[in-house]
Structure 1
């Protein structure tokens, strides 16, 4: 796995040794005294066995005598681990300690643990050099560090050098760690970072395997940290809904219209699909944005890049750790998702923790990333107009495979820092000229510093007209909350141009797209002027040598002036045509804006009609139920009517029978009236 992909495991053995020192193993002078004594006996014995397995290897010592039960229990715990690998023992040791003591890592003293290990990861020595610290605003921080730069000598970070904000950066092409004031955020990686109006916002992330949901801001003018208190959202907005922000990591943070858009990311209780949330920088509240279309499946470790007014999402890892290579577009004006399934060409293999950039608002570049078993250093390009994938040939100092790196674009240059592979963090900061696809190395750091870690963030800000890169956080065995800045020089651009001259085919890697009408005008002017110069030079080369008299010279000049006037007339016509095209383009953009508004209006009407339709369906269902009741009552009424008719018919029959009996009596000689009188007597 890539180095810090194991938030549940280890990227480096340092975290294990820090945990061992905390638990009282290893005899470190900085370790807590008898901390392990507060654990349950079975936990303490298991930690002992794992520590021995990680540092010594499988148990090969004989079983101690029975009269020493403590040593026998320790031997049983160690021996029961069998042939478990040392790295797995380290991982389990840290995992168990974090379950028993979740906050142990924040109490570890600031010292660097550098174990000297061989290929089999068996420890031969352990060094615990101490580092001095300074107290600032009641918080203890290490002194400014010295970073060894491979191609720039030794760079010492002196707090006296810092003058004010980013203006203190006077070194080009090297990472500098400036002095920061204010309460630093909790160390983290896999967080989101974005710059809005000279302020860098940090949201969420992963610390000790736990997700965060705080929002921090670094004022880049005076380099001061502060925390934003999130307010309750007003309930008057219909398109938004109040939401308590769940802690997350591996998400993307994008600035858009004075808002911070947080999209995707891993959470403790993931949803089925990607959610889009926005933080309003004016009202300081979070809201969930309503989207249309088919949203992507939930994920983390994806790339989300802003291209015009759309967000381009690629890849990532879903909640079940399945790697993805799907491609989705979210239109921020209509908030509609669109999944691109019919792209031409071969897309990148499924991956997460890669870097992405958009060049000239047309080309999406995907670099690196990792799967569950390996890391990549391939480069893929998607033409967003033709929806065609390609894998162009890279030139220059091609970077090594990596995952968890961060990238930011400055003009046509794409800077990439950090990341890790299966063995260690990546120390080179590289830059890609996106027009020529030529790589070059900006600088290289030495030592285990946050710049050579995974899950760091990288943004760009401007100071006095100069672009400055700002890096924060990361994980390389230790979680970081350090800030580093770099002022790019023109050296990387010059190296790319030199490589472009050396490699003729590299210039055709990508075609830059600019404003269409501006291209027409510039190409017409350049073409006509070039044609004019060509005609002049051809005439001079072929005729000037034969012109010996003033008369021939005047004829030549007259002809050239006529040709020039003709070409200038043609150029004027082309400019008029270009102006007309500009006007048509403006009209088309206006029409497009009107159509977009009309589409939104129609969508609103459709939503209202849909609500009305739903209400009508409910009314129809109620009427059907009443109709069924009426039909039942009608059947009961018909039954009662039949019963009544039957009763009346029976009574009539009885009367007729009684009358018929009286007639037969009369015929027998006894009238009915007489019988009645006799009966009454």
Structure 2
């Protein structure tokens, strides 16, 4: 069952950034934050989130790799894209208020943390922001966005062969997706599913007569043909600047905004390509507030979602000028390992009982027990396994990774895990994430 299991504060405050998952880490590139200096040109910043320790780290200014070109790494920007292919992250597009939009391809080596710019050829896409980028095999597909030189929305598809480093403008057949920016494009199988974004009633030109389409358009990469995907009610509202990802062959979208409705969203929807049907998903736990321009990355069976911006609560959800940029992070867990997790302050060897609350408030806590209520077959929990429990002490901003040995209780549906002797003062303890790990 889907559950929001982690909520952290104090990460990088970023909006309109780009991120990818590399193993158990998430690399976040650039973006902006209200009030920061963006007139001074500087190299893009890189933040790394470790999903095991639940810690953020900012990388020092990165050197170039000394291969291909010797150009510096990308300048600070927003509205760009990041994709991962093997051990290289490719950054493309985006803009800066000083330098404008960019169409230089940058590559970041995840092993050496160095930048390089590959030598490319072919039909290079025009500089833009608000586009999408997808990886399929050895190819990167760029769709849409707002082109700076043409001063219009785009609905072109460009393909970069990362083996030959040749760009190609695809001559797509069929009725194309409408010109748009800040949409999402997600690869499932050999097809690219395009949803949402901001379009205009006057086609490619921006006239402030915005359209927010809630229909799916599908691009078949094998036939280079656009396909329609009609779907019945219910449908999500059209939106832009949302997040999208695929899991088990289905498309998920979260958040975004619709200026015509004066609304920001915090809903989660699931699209089934086989049945062309939408379903609203209601995860358990406390999720993010309504927002747009956040990032989300798939790490195993979990979605790491962070950043973005929302109207200030006192201004209402439609206010575009009084925005609150976020430094928080949430994890949405698809794993079926646990149906509920509870941490309780207790004396030694308490009798397991149903959870009464999701967090503990105490001025002095000396012993904790973890009780896991499982559903279905849980063979992984019946063997000696190390469980890493991550505690966030919110008031003291203290993080602790605790290694517990699992013990089975008499009740086969309940398990309790050792006890932790620790005395702390004035803190709030919340349970966040439970994941098995070999010892």
1:576 matched to which residue of 2? none
Secondary structure of residue in 2 paired with 1:337: strand
Matches within 5 A, 1:213-362: 213-235=44-66, 237=67, 239-270=68-99, 274-319=103-148, 321-341=151-171, 343-360=172-189, 362=190
Secondary structure of residue in 2 paired with 1:265: strand
Q: Offset at 1:347? A: 0.6
* Compared CA separation, residues 251 and 323, structure 1 to 2 (3 A): same
CA distance in 1, matches of 2:127, 2:119: 16
2:19 matched to which residue of 1? 193
2:327 matched to which residue of 1? 481
Secondary structure of residue in 2 paired with 1:207: coil
Secondary structure of residue in 1 paired with 2:45: strand
Q: Offset at 1:352? A: 0.4
Q: Offset at 1:397? A: 2.8
CA distance in 1, matches of 2:96, 2:116: 17
Match of 1:426 among 242, 259, 265: 265
Q: Offset at 1:412? A: 0.2
Higher RCO (CA 8 Å, separation ≥ 6 residues):
2
CA distance in 2, matches of 1:273, 1:249: 10
Q: Offset at 1:264? A: 0.8
CA distance in 1, matches of 2:326, 2:101: 31
Q: Root-mean-square deviation (CA), in Å? A: 2.4
| Cα deviation 1:289-340 (Å, max 9, x = unaligned) | 2211010000001010111110111000122652111111011111110001
2:362 matched to which residue of 1? none
How many residue pairs get aligned? The number is: 307
1:416 matched to which residue of 2? 253
Match of 1:364 among 181, 192, 205: 192
* Between structures 1 and 2, the one with greater helix share: 1
Confirm or deny: 8 A CA contact 1:273 1:296 kept in the other structure: no
CA distance in 2, matches of 1:277, 1:322: 24
2:240 matched to which residue of 1? 403
Bigger-Rg structure (1/2)? 1
CA distance in 1, matches of 2:159, 2:152: 21
1:469 matched to which residue of 2? 303
Confirm or deny: 8 A CA contact 2:19 2:29 kept in the other structure: yes
Confirm or deny: 8 A CA contact 1:270 1:319 kept in the other structure: no
CA distance in 2, matches of 1:229, 1:254: 21
Match of 1:459 among 292, 297, 308: 297
Confirm or deny: 8 A CA contact 2:234 2:279 kept in the other structure: yes
Q: Offset at 1:451? A: 4.5
Q: Offset at 1:231? A: 3.5
Q: Offset at 1:409? A: 1.1
Matches within 5 A, 1:281-680: 281-319=110-148, 321-341=151-171, 343-360=172-189, 362-371=190-199, 372=208, 373-395=210-232, 397-422=234-259, 423-443=262-282, 450-462=288-300, 467-477=301-311, 478-488=324-334
Confirm or deny: 8 A CA contact 1:376 1:403 kept in the other structure: no
Confirm or deny: 8 A CA contact 2:302 2:335 kept in the other structure: no
Deviating 4+ runs (over 6 angstroms)? 444-447
* Compared CA separation, residues 314 and 209, structure 1 to 2 (3 A): farther
2:360 matched to which residue of 1? none
Q: TM-score, normalised by structure 2?
A: 0.66
CA distance in 1, matches of 2:3, 2:234: 18
| Cα deviation 1:95-133 (Å, max 9, x = unaligned) | xxxxxxxxxxxxxxxxxxxxxxxxxxxxxxxxxxxxxxx
Q: TM-score, normalised by structure 1?
A: 0.43
Q: Offset at 1:179? A: 4.3
* Between structures 1 and 2, the one with greater strand share: 2
| Cα deviation 1:577-635 (Å, max 9, x = unaligned) | xxxxxxxxxxxxxxxxxxxxxxxxxxxxxxxxxxxxxxxxxxxxxxxxxxxxxxxxxxx
CA distance in 2, matches of 1:289, 1:316: 23
Q: Offset at 1:188? A: 1.6
Confirm or deny: 8 A CA contact 2:4 2:283 kept in the other structure: no
* Compared CA separation, residues 275 and 392, structure 1 to 2 (3 A): same
Secondary structure of residue in 2 paired with 1:403: coil
